[in-house]
Structure 1
């Protein structure tokens, strides 16, 4: 993976103080940096994935000359380029009004990645979504692994824009290959055998609206907790289905969605490691 710093605004960005090295203090001020506080953490807690809804030239223009921005842009060339637009130490304006778990306004706690993709078009036959190029996803996986390693991002904190803004955003859409990210060890995925085991019970008795709302909120979604199946709840369900069941994402409360939610919110316990057997012929001392 090759990351290119876009030079269109490089001078302006440098003047704006994008360098991560602290500038020298003004004359007469001495700052001692030999101590470090224990109570601190990385600014970056989340990675948010977007599509640009534009071609490459327009995507670059929007992301470099307007208020909206992103840390990285993955192009749609046959051999995609990954552009670095905003230094990771700085906030980019990619998330907008957003919520996830205890956080809101996720710009301050996230890295935003835009992928060049038109999104969708509405046709007489229905909405048609544009697929992502495999080479784009290959580069994205490398980029995500690098960011995750450097910032220790948890698997449940790699999200789509629609997940943190389900009432107003659709990206990265149903054709984004979340399962590929799961296969790469980047995100959590519901184990199919566990989903299948829970499905018959939910087919016999579907949980009520409040159960769906409570369980979606447990994952992290901002969803009403009213027990009323309103438009806002349907939108959040549709976003969840877009990620974990992209073949059908109509926002309906159904047995398969309930089983997926159940598995994701009830992970298997971590079993203690089995004791290592001593090699043949080696005696171990008894424990007193």
Structure 2
């Protein structure tokens, strides 16, 4: 009897030693309940270009270059590569701001697009085009992420939107209008823009109005009342997306009309996405 008791005690002691203290054991978690008060950590999708070819882009984004992205979209052949899990933070946005949100790395999915960017020529700055096959892949990827993560259409933005002046990507050659036509992002109502343009051809709004409207739209812009460098950079960034034929940063009647409509209730329209093929 004594031997049996001693054996049991030794067995219990060995068992305790094997499992260790209780606080080191794996917790038992009950998943029976779920709160309704939640949303996705992914609030934004930010689009970039790499300014590098495929091989260099892949190397920079996957090695010790202190920069990364969740996805890399190749140009030739077109294809999508995931580099960072969506549940983890990629280092793509840097110092950033949009509509009151700062440091967007923590709340965004970053998509890098292989593209040479721009080069200065005797004829001015020239931006490299994006192959349509590559854009088709980006469209599919953005739609998939936005649907799964429930990203708002107005939160699908460019790197230059969140860092105007400091960044130009994805640049004026990027076909944002295709994303609007696909029902992924809102776009200024063309009819309202045409009406407003006539008004602004007679007199342009002052700088205070301009800075207030651009700030309301989402840009990080100071209300200085002066046409300073940042204001010019923000105008140029806005033009790159909505009027890429001329992104000089100079306020004209068409740009004023676009800004007015974009910041007026009911001015930004979201197209009905085309039906998907079965």
Give the TM-score of the pair, scaled to structure 1.
0.82
Matched, 1:138 2:136: yes
How far did residue 28 of structure 1 move? 5.2
Matching of residues 213-228 of structure 1 within 5 Å: 213-228=211-226
SS in 1 for 2:187: coil
Matching of residues 77-226 of structure 1 within 5 Å: 77-78=76-77, 80-226=78-224
Q: Deviations over 1:89-146 (max 9, x none)?
A: 1110000000001100000010000000010111122111100000000011111111
* Partner of residue 263, structure 2: 265
Structure 2, unaligned runs of 5 or more: 1-22, 269-278
* Partner of residue 19, structure 2: none
* Partner of residue 20, structure 1: none
Bigger radius of gyration: 2
2:235 aligns with one of 228, 234, 237: 237
SS in 1 for 2:143: helix
Identify if the C-alpha distance between structure 1 residues 128 and 269 changes in structure 2 by more than 3 Å, giving closer, same or farther.
closer
Determine the C-alpha separation between the residues in 2 that align with 1:135 and 1:49.
17
Equivalenced residue count is 245
SS in 2 for 1:61: helix
Could you say which structure has the higher helix fraction?
A: 2
Determine the C-alpha separation between the residues in 2 that align with 1:146 and 1:154.
13
Determine the C-alpha separation between the residues in 2 that align with 1:43 and 1:268.
28
* Partner of residue 75, structure 2: 76
Q: Deviations over 1:53-95 (max 9, x none)?
A: 00000000000002200000000113x1100001111110000
* Partner of residue 67, structure 1: 66
SS in 1 for 2:188: coil
Identify if the C-alpha distance between structure 1 residues 91 and 194 changes in structure 2 by more than 3 Å, giving closer, same or farther.
same
Q: Deviations over 1:244-273 (max 9, x none)?
A: 000111111221111001111113399xxx
How far did residue 26 of structure 1 move? 5.3
How far did residue 168 of structure 1 move? 0.3
Give the TM-score of the pair, scaled to structure 2.
0.85
Determine the C-alpha separation between the residues in 1 that align with 2:31 and 2:266.
44
Identify if the C-alpha distance between structure 1 residues 163 and 269 changes in structure 2 by more than 3 Å, giving closer, same or farther.
closer
Determine the C-alpha separation between the residues in 2 that align with 1:32 and 1:26.
18
Determine the C-alpha separation between the residues in 2 that align with 1:212 and 1:269.
17
How far did residue 33 of structure 1 move? 2.5
**Any conservation in 1 of the 2:236–2:249 contact (CA below 8 Å)?**
yes
Determine the C-alpha separation between the residues in 2 that align with 1:161 and 1:167.
10
1:45 aligns with one of 39, 43, 57: 43
SS in 1 for 2:81: strand
Determine the C-alpha separation between the residues in 1 that align with 2:24 and 2:128.
53
Runs of 4 or more above 6 Å deviation: none
Determine the C-alpha separation between the residues in 1 that align with 2:57 and 2:266.
42
Identify if the C-alpha distance between structure 1 residues 115 and 26 changes in structure 2 by more than 3 Å, giving closer, same or farther.
farther
